[in-house]
C-alpha cells in the first residue's frame, strides 16, 4: 500500500521508479519505499546513504520532488511531528554549545574544504555575474559586491561575524584598505584564517559572537545566521546593535525562505549542521525591525546558489579518492554518499525555489542608500 502511494507521488513529480531517465529513482531494496513513507525526509536520506536506492542525477531528482512539494506530504506522520516538536521546545543555544557546530562540521579538516571550495576558501553562495565565470571569479564577485554594498572606505573598522577561513577579511583588507576583526567558533578555521591574513590589518578571534566588544563602522555576516536559532535572534541583533557605530552599516547574508516559518531539515540537522535553522522571511523581518531599518533586501539565491553547490559537488567528487585515502576510516563510503546527498539536495531546493539567498543591508537610522547589484 505505502509503496503504491510512493510511486504515484513520484510519478506526479515526473520521477519514475527504476526508469530510464537519469533522475529516476533506482530501488535496490524492495522495502525502501514503504520505509521512506514511514520515516519522511530523514528516512529518504539514510536509505540513500545505506545504498538502498540510487539516482544518477540526484539534484534533478530533488528539483522535481521539491518543485511539486512532495516533502510536505509526510509532515504529519509521527516521525516528522516528533522532529517538529523537538525543535519547538529545544532550549536556546548557549555560548558553550555554539562551538559544537565548529567541531562537528567546520573542523572536518582544512584540507578537506580546500579541495571542495575555491582558492578564496569562501563557503557561501557565489555571485555569477557573468555566465562564463569560474567558481573563484564568482566568489570574488560576491565578496566585492558585499564591500560595495557596505560602501567601505579606507581606514574603516569592520566586524566579520562568522569569518570562516578569512575569505572576506582578507579580500576587504587587501582591496578596500579596511581593518577587520573576524570571529569564528571553529578552531581549524581560526588557524587557517590567521595564516591567510598574516601581515594584513586583520584580527581573528576564536569566540562566540555574543562575546564581541568594540565599535565598528561596518559589520558583515556571511552564511552564519543559519546557525542562529530563532530563540537567539534577539541576542544576535542586540550584539550587532551594540557593536555598530550609530551611522554604521550591517550586511546580513543568509539562506532563507519566503513562505513559512523557520525550517530545520532533520537530515541536515543530524548529519551536516547540528544547529541548522533556515529563517523565514517574515519572522526575519520582524526581528530586524525591532532594532534596524532595512536599506536594501536583495534575493538572488535560486540560480546562483544552485550553480555554487554543483561546483562544490564537482570539486568534492574529483577529490574524493584522495580525501578517502588521507582521512581513512573518518571518511568512508557512507560519508561520501551523505556529502553528495547534502550538496545535491540543497542544489535541487534552490533550483525549485524552495530556498533563497538574502543579502540585507541594515542601519540604525533611515540613511539614504542606493541599491548595489
24-34 pLDDT, tens digit per residue, is 999 999 999 99
Pairing of strands 356-363, 293-299: antiparallel
Confidence of residue 75 (pLDDT cuts 50, 70, 90): very low
In a 10 Å sphere around its CB, with 0-12 CB exposed, 13-18 middle and 19+ buried, how is residue 76 labelled? exposed
| Residue scoring higher pLDDT (302 or 116) | 116
State the cell numbers at 328.
581513512
What percentage of residues in the chain have a pLDDT greater than 90?
78
Which residue from 7, 55, 9 is spatially nearest to 28, judged by alpha carbons? Answer: 55
Which residue from 149, 143, 123 is spatially nearest to 308, judged by alpha carbons? Answer: 123
- 363 φ/ψ angles, rounded to the nearest 5 degrees: -150, 160
215-229 pLDDT, tens digit per residue, is 999 999 999 999 998
pTM: 0.94
Helix %, strand %, coil % for the chain, to 5?
50, 15, 35
Q: Which pLDDT belongs to residue 234?
A: 94
Confidence of residue 88 (pLDDT cuts 50, 70, 90): low
173-214 pLDDT, tens digit per residue, is 999 999 999 999 999 999 999 999 999 999 999 999 999 999
Average pLDDT of every residue of the chain: 92
Q: Which pLDDT belongs to residue 152?
A: 98
Confidence of residue 72 (pLDDT cuts 50, 70, 90): confident
95-139 pLDDT, tens digit per residue, is 666 667 667 788 889 999 999 999 999 999 999 999 889 999 999
For the chain, what is the total number of helices (H) and then of strands (E)? 14, 9
Q: What domains lie within the chain, and their CATH numbers?
A: 1-89 (no CATH), 99-300+351-363 (3.40.50.150)
Confidence of residue 302 (pLDDT cuts 50, 70, 90): confident
Q: Which pLDDT belongs to residue 71?
A: 82
Q: Which pLDDT belongs to residue 326?
A: 87
321-352 pLDDT, tens digit per residue, is 999 998 877 789 999 999 999 999 999 999 99
Residue 76 has pLDDT above 50, yes or no: no
How far is it, in rounded angstroms, from Cα 361 to Cα 273?
26
259-273 pLDDT, tens digit per residue, is 876 767 889 999 999
Which residue from 118, 116, 178 is spatially nearest to 148, judged by alpha carbons? Answer: 178
| Catalytic positions, written as ranges | 346
The CB-side HSE value for 184 (13 A sphere, CA atoms) comes to 26
Q: List Cα–Cα distances, 292 to 216, 285, 302, in angstroms.
A: 16, 10, 26
Find the mean pLDDT for residues 282-296: 95
Confidence of residue 373 (pLDDT cuts 50, 70, 90): very high
Amino acid at each position: 500500500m505505502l509503496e503504491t502511494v510512493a510511486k504515484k507521488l513520484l510519478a506526479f513529480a515526473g520521477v519514475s521508479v527504476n526508469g530510464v531517465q537519469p533522475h529516476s529513482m533506482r530501488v535496490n531494496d524492495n522495502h525502501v519505499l514503504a520505509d521512506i513513507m514511514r520515516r519522511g525526509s530523514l528516512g529518504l536520506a539514510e536509505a540513500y546513504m545505506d545504498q538502498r536506492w540510487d539516482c544518477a542525477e540526484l539534484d534533478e531528482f530533488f528539483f522535481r520532488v521539491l518543485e511539486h512539494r512532495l516533502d510536505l506530504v509526510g509532515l504529519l506522520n509521527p516521525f516528522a511531528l516528533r522532529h517538529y516538536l523537538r525543535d519547538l521546545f529545544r532550549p536556546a543555544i548557549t555560548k558553550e554549545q555554539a562551538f559544537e557546530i565548529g567541531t562537528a562540521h567546520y573542523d572536518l579538516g582544512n584540507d578537506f574544504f580546500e579541495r571542495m571550495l575555491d582558492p578564496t576558501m569562501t563557503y557561501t553562495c557565489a555571485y555569477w555575474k557573468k555566465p562564463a565565470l569560474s567558481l573563484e571569479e564568482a566568489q570574488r564577485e560576491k565578496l566585492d559586491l558585499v564591500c560595495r554594498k557596505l560602501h567601505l572606505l579606507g581606514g574603516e573598522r569592520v566586524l566579520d561575524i562568522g569569518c570562516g577561513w578569512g575569505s572576506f577579511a582578507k579580500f576587504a583588507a587587501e582591496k578596500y584598505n579596511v581593518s577587520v576583526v573576524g570571529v569564528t567558533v571553529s578552531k581549524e578555521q581560526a588557524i587557517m584564517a590567521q595564516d591567510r591574513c598574516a601581515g594584513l590589518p586583520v584580527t581573528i578571534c576564536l569566540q562566540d559572537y555574543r562575546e564581541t566588544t568594540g565599535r565598528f563602522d561596518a559589520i558583515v555576516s556571511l552564511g552564519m545566521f543559519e546557525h542562529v536559532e530563532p530563540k537567539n535572534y534577539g541576542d544576535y541583533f542586540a550584539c550587532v546593535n551594540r557593536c555598530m557605530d550609530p551611522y554604521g552599516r550591517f550586511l546580513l547574508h543568509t539562506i532563507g525562505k519566503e513562505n513559512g516559518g523557520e525550517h530545520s531539515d532533520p537530515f541536515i540537522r543530524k548529519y551536516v549542521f547540528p544547529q541548522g535553522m533556515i529563517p523565514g522571511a517574515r519572522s526575519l523581518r520582524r526581528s530586524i525591525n525591532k532594532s534596524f531599518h532595512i536599506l536594501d533586501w536583495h534575493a538572488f539565491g535560486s540560480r546562483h546558489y544552485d550553480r555554487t553547490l554543483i561546483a562544490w559537488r564537482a570539486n568534492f567528487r574529483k577529490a574524493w579518492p584522495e580525501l578517502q585515502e588521507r582521512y581513512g576510516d573518518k571518511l568512508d563510503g557512507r560519508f561520501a554518499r551523505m556529502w553528495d546527498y547534502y550538496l545535491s539536495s540543497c542544489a535541487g531546493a534552490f533550483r525549485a525555489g524552495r530556498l533563497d539567498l538574502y543579502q540585507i543591508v541594515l542601519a540604525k537610522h533611515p540613511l539614504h542608500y542606493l541599491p548595489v547589484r
